[in-house]
Structure 1
Amino acid sequence: MIEKKELHELEILKHVEETPHLSNRIAAQKLGCSIKLAHEVLKKMASRGLFHINKVHSRRWDYFLSPKGIAEKTRLTMGFLNFSMYFYQQARKLSSQVCRDLSEAGIKKVSFLGAGDLAEIVYLGVKQWGLELEAIYDNDHQGFLDYEVNALDDLNNHSHGTVLVCMYDPKQPTQKKYLPEGVELDKSFHWIFN
C-alpha cells in the first residue's frame, strides 16, 4: 500500500515536472497541508537529491527534477498504479460478495451512498446478483449512468431500504465503515470495506 508521505512526494514531483515554479505555499495547496509541513517535505526531498534547485532571487527558487528525482517519480507512480489495481480488485471482489449476501437474504432493491468510481465498481455486483438500484445519494456528483443523484440531506430525511456505502476516504481508501460528514449512521448501511 502506498503511504501518505509517498503520495505527497509524488504530487510534488509531478508538479516540478510540469513547472519549475514551486514555493512552500504552492506545495501546501497541492498537498492540502500547512506551509510548515510542505516546507519540511520539500526540504527532505531536496536533501535526498530529488531536485536541482536554482535560486532566482531571495523569494523565488526554481526546482528541476534530478535523475534521482525522475527515478523516484517513476517508482512512486508504479506503486500508485499497483495500489490502484489492488484497490479495484478488492472493491470488485468485496462488493460482489456484499451484493450476493443481500440477494441471498431476499433483498431486491438497494440504494447507493456515493456516485463516484467505487459506485461504478459496486454497480457491477448489483447487476451480477439481480438487484435493483433504487436511489443514489451524493453531493459531489450530478449523475450516475442514467440515474438521478439526490443530495446527502435527502438520505437523512427520508426512510430508505438497504444502502450500499460507495464512498471512501481518499487518504485511506480501504478504511472500514467510512461515512462522509453530515451522514448519520444507520443500521441499513452496508460497507464494501468492512
Structure 2
Amino acid sequence: MIHKNDIQELEILKHVEETPHLSNRIAAQKLGCSIKLAHEVLKKMAGRGLLHIKKVHSRRWDYFLTPKGISEKARLTMEFLDFSMHFYHEARKLSSQVCRDLADSGVKKLSFLGAGDLAEIVYLGLKEWGLELEAIYDDEKKSFLGHDTQLLSDLVDNKHGAVLVCLYDPKQPTANNYLPEGVKVNDNFHWIFN
C-alpha cells in the first residue's frame, strides 16, 4: 500500500526532475497542504539525501535530485504503478460483481455518482451485464463517455433507482461506503468498495 507521504514525495521528486525552481509555496500547491508543512517535507527530503539545495540568493533556492533522490523516485514510481494496477484489478472485479448482482435482482438501468477513473472501470461491468446507464452525477466533469452529466445536487431528485457510487477517497481509495461532502446516504446507493 502506498502512503500519502510517499505520494507527496513522488510529486516533489517529479517536479524537481523537471525544474530546479521550487518554493515552499509551489510545493504547498502541489501537495495540497500548508506552506509550513511543505517546508517540513522539503527539509526532511533534503535531510534524507534525496534533494540537493543550492541557494541562488536570499529569496530563491533551487533543488536538484541527488543519486539517492533519483533512485527513490524510481522506487516510488514503481510502487505507485503496482498499487494502481492492484486498484484497477480489484475495482474491475468488484464492480463486475455489483453489476451482476444488480442485473440478477432485475435492475435494467442505473446511474453513476461520479464520472472519473473509477466510473470508467465500472462502465465495463455495466456493459458486461447488459445494464443501461441512465444518468451520471458529477460536479467537476461536464460529460462522461458521450453522456452529459448532472450536478450532485440533482441527485436529491433521483427517481431512477439504483445508483453506483463511482467515487473514492483519494487518501484511502478502497475505504468502504465513501460519499462526497454534502451527499446523503440513500437506500438506492451501491458501492464498489463495500
- TM-score range (shorter-chain normalised) is over 0.9
> 1-side partners of 2:155 and 2:148: how far apart?
14
Cα RMSD, aligned residues only:
1.0
**What residue in structure 2 maps to residue 109 of structure 1?**
109
The aligned amino acid for 1:11 is: E
**What residue in structure 2 maps to residue 141 of structure 1?**
141
Deviation of 1:75 after TM superposition, in Å, equals: 0.4
Look up the SS of the partner of 2:149 in the other structure.
strand
Under a length normalisation based on structure 2, what TM-score does the superposition of the two structures give?
0.97
**What residue in structure 1 maps to residue 174 of structure 2?**
174
C-alpha offsets along residues 35-76 of structure 1, whole Å, 9 cap, x if unaligned?
Answer: 111111111100111111111112211100011000000000
**What residue in structure 2 maps to residue 8 of structure 1?**
8
Deviation of 1:146 after TM superposition, in Å, equals: 2.2
> 2-side partners of 1:29 and 1:132: how far apart?
40
> 2-side partners of 1:80 and 1:177: how far apart?
23
Are the counterparts in 1 of residues 138 and 151 from structure 2 also a CA contact under 8 Å?
Answer: yes
> 2-side partners of 1:51 and 1:73: how far apart?
11
Deviation of 1:160 after TM superposition, in Å, equals: 2.6
Structure 1, gaps ≥5 residues long: none
**What residue in structure 2 maps to residue 150 of structure 1?**
150
Deviation of 1:173 after TM superposition, in Å, equals: 1.2
Deviation of 1:158 after TM superposition, in Å, equals: 3.4
**What residue in structure 2 maps to residue 88 of structure 1?**
88
**What residue in structure 2 maps to residue 57 of structure 1?**
57
Say how many residue pairs are matched.
194
> 2-side partners of 1:179 and 1:157: how far apart?
17
**What residue in structure 2 maps to residue 38 of structure 1?**
38
**What residue in structure 1 maps to residue 69 of structure 2?**
69
> 2-side partners of 1:28 and 1:86: how far apart?
29
> 2-side partners of 1:157 and 1:184: how far apart?
12
Under a length normalisation based on structure 1, what TM-score does the superposition of the two structures give?
0.97
> 2-side partners of 1:127 and 1:27: how far apart?
41
The aligned amino acid for 2:163 is: V
C-alpha offsets along residues 64-108 of structure 1, whole Å, 9 cap, x if unaligned?
Answer: 001100000000000110111011000000000001111111111
> 2-side partners of 1:48 and 1:6: how far apart?
14
Deviation of 1:190 after TM superposition, in Å, equals: 0.2
Query: After TM superposition, what 4+ stretches of structure 1 lie above 2 angstroms from structure 2?
Result: 157-160
**What residue in structure 2 maps to residue 100 of structure 1?**
100
> 1-side partners of 2:50 and 2:17: how far apart?
11
C-alpha offsets along residues 95-126 of structure 1, whole Å, 9 cap, x if unaligned?
Answer: 00001111111111111001111111101111
